[in-house]
Structure 1
């Protein structure tokens, strides 16, 4: 009888290693060795000294996360090979780490845009904590995750209004978080980290929709009133009214110079050519005579057209006082000038497609919200004549009182 054959022990291609740190914690990292090529990957996971039951439980969970990442790497390496290690490592980044990178990408973006990304990331972290998900990779995000996150936003607590217990974020705020997450996932697709945006798999009814009531705007008569009403800062007044006639955002108006004003080939029309700060895309907007009235002539074509306060809050403070002086009882910020431009164009007969191009919208569906606003105002106007010509004898008691 021959000797039993020795079983060959297969060497694992990916191993979890430990490194002792000076503070007493232990750092976990991956040691990858395949076909003569060695790679290392820090997991940003740490074991803490086990001084009580809670610390032991935390370490068990940390090791489970490390094992999950290890398993993901082995599968990815089997599918794609060690030559694609950098892409494998990049596509396996955790969702939270990817969102942190997304919010730190400050190239060409306003501070408010980056803050919106940060606020969204914090809401994602709150959702993960609520679901007891200590770790989830970017490549694991699917339609169910997106659906769960949006459902969480429907009752998510308001982080600012701490004194008002039980207050939740508004639908408008939830819609903004949804839009920012959608933008982050689109970037992940462009970077080749995920094959597609799972948010697109959700039905429209599952998503938050922008509310027309949240887009405050001024009527043509109210714009006329403002033109005749003094403002505590005339530069703010001129810049605001210009935006009412061209639809540019505050960030783009801040950077306006005469060097950005061009003439059409026939020389009959002037237009402003800018790279929009928010979208980093070019836009050409024709300048009406009304718009040109608020564009001061400068000797230096590269000089800024307006000397505006550096703080957006200060600008909106002057606008608020201006509205009060004009007896306009609406919550108007500088951005409402853009809404005013859109609704004014549609009111005066411009079609949705043209208005969309003037606003620089990538999709006409974004502009449709203004169409809904106009339709609602038309309905309200028509309803004003209800019962106006009906004989009082035919009215019921309630209608008669209103008449």
Structure 2
């Protein structure tokens, strides 16, 4: 059977040492480049000079032979410079061979990118660091995603900083998961870490033709939803009373007020860290673009700001709160829960669930809650309602209260 897939025109390329004779510095040195010419791009081809970030006396550069001459007797630097130049040449040659074998077009712009990823074609950590920066710079991921991926990278550095793509099989993935669980990382966070790794393995294969063992790529990572944690009214009151605790340091006090603010607004932690006075469109409303999905689907929220929530705002201008890192924020919350004698595993997101519970308990409705929380789907909002049997009874009794004064009913047994 004849293969109907059209082949890419075979390219040829050449490399040579280069410097600009018109740009010789006052001290006689010239910046060194590797000139790369790739054929197959019209009459002029694709020619580019790649900077080596090296200087050498122009009179001691032999362009015809492509070598540097010693500046003086026993010049030790000349061999080191030749090694650096040879190393870059070898990298470019390897890139060209790989593209040719894969029947792919090669351009100088591609060479620049592939050199950037050269070391990361083996190292998972290096690859994730570079891809993370590149995707954020090009607006493909939001700032919060950018931060979250850094947390995954840091966990990999702690686990196995020198891990290469070729060793990431199902055993490696299982060991990484075991490592995270052993450190007490929450199940949802473990899922996120594994998801980040698998997403970057996919990118390594699809965009850069890097080999990854298939069983590592196929390692199962089903989402296991944890039972949401929230605070009841009496527990929120206990936290409010902690504001009078003289033992709290300034940082702990800020975290406590910020958490309580979220309990009465439904703020996400990412929006909390960005919150500022410019968001106040009136005494009773905040208007802002939420951080989540900002790069893909930007969305502006307008939410009520009730008087009790305003009491927790720490400043009269600028940022609402001066807060530590999110990791330190969550560590502080655990300490605050102990002080308030609240035996629950509370994280920053619990405040959002607490708001959902309080809102529904005191007569709110799901559609309004969905709008305040900024959910795209009502099914997501359902997870924030948290009404138990007693709450349901209290709400239904309100119907009873509305009809208690009807005369006919008063006379009925």
Which whole-Å CA distance do the structure 1 matches of 2:222 and 2:285 have between them? 36
* 1:32 matched residue in structure 2: 38
Give the counterpart of 1:109 among 134, 137, 143.
143
Deviations 1:105-148 (A, max 9, x none): 378735843523535887998472325xxxxxxxxxxxxxxxx8
* 1:389 matched residue in structure 2: none
Which whole-Å CA distance do the structure 1 matches of 2:371 and 2:114 have between them? 35
Q: Is the 8 A contact 2:180 2:190 kept in 1?
A: no
Shift of residue 327, structure 1, vs aligned partner: 1.1
| Superposition map of 1:212-361 within 5 A | 212-213=226-227, 215-229=228-242, 230-231=244-245, 232=248, 233-263=252-282, 270-280=284-294, 281=298, 282-295=300-313, 298=316, 302-306=317-321, 308-346=322-360, 350=364, 354-361=368-375
* 1:69 matched residue in structure 2: 99
* 2:398 matched residue in structure 1: none
Shift of residue 153, structure 1, vs aligned partner: 4.1
TM-score between the two structures when normalised by the length of structure 1: 0.53
Which whole-Å CA distance do the structure 2 matches of 1:168 and 1:69 have between them? 44
Q: Is the 8 A contact 1:243 1:338 kept in 2?
A: yes
Give me the CA root mean square deviation.
5.3
Q: Mind listing any 5+ residue stretches in structure 1 that lack a counterpart?
A: 1-10, 20-27, 43-61, 132-147, 195-204, 264-268, 383-403
Q: Is the 8 A contact 2:230 2:353 kept in 1?
A: yes
Q: Is the 8 A contact 2:259 2:351 kept in 1?
A: yes
Shift of residue 333, structure 1, vs aligned partner: 3.1
Q: Mind listing any 5+ residue stretches in structure 2 that lack a counterpart?
A: 1-8, 18-33, 51-91, 209-218, 394-413
Deviations 1:200-237 (A, max 9, x none): xxxxx965214223x43222331122223344244333
Q: Who wins on radius of gyration, i.e. which is larger?
A: 2
Instruction: Rate the CA distance shift 1:310–1:303 in 2: closer, same or farther, 3 A.
Output: same
Shift of residue 241, structure 1, vs aligned partner: 0.8
Q: Is the 8 A contact 1:157 1:169 kept in 2?
A: no
* 1:177 matched residue in structure 2: 193
Which whole-Å CA distance do the structure 2 matches of 1:17 and 1:364 have between them? 60
Deviations 1:162-214 (A, max 9, x none): xx7xx8976423421355468879999xxxx79xxxxxxxxxx965214223x
Which whole-Å CA distance do the structure 2 matches of 1:185 and 1:368 have between them? 34
DSSP 3-state at the match of 1:262: coil
* 2:11 matched residue in structure 1: 13
Q: Is the 8 A contact 2:280 2:287 kept in 1?
A: yes
Deviations 1:35-58 (A, max 9, x none): 33125699xxxxxxxxxxxxxxxx
Q: Is the 8 A contact 1:248 1:359 kept in 2?
A: yes
| Bigger Cα displacement from structure 2, 90-99 vs 341-350 | 90-99
Q: Is the 8 A contact 1:14 1:30 kept in 2?
A: no
DSSP 3-state at the match of 1:156: helix
Instruction: Rate the CA distance shift 1:257–1:228 in 2: closer, same or farther, 3 A.
Output: same
Q: Is the 8 A contact 1:241 1:337 kept in 2?
A: yes
Q: Is the 8 A contact 1:174 1:208 kept in 2?
A: no
Instruction: Rate the CA distance shift 1:92–1:293 in 2: closer, same or farther, 3 A.
Output: same
Q: Is the 8 A contact 1:103 1:114 kept in 2?
A: yes
Shift of residue 339, structure 1, vs aligned partner: 3.0
* 2:167 matched residue in structure 1: 130
Residues 1:156 and 2:156 aligned together: no
Shift of residue 247, structure 1, vs aligned partner: 1.9
Which whole-Å CA distance do the structure 2 matches of 1:366 and 1:186 have between them? 28
Which whole-Å CA distance do the structure 2 matches of 1:64 and 1:341 have between them? 57
Shift of residue 276, structure 1, vs aligned partner: 3.1
Q: Is the 8 A contact 1:178 1:208 kept in 2?
A: no
Shift of residue 272, structure 1, vs aligned partner: 1.0
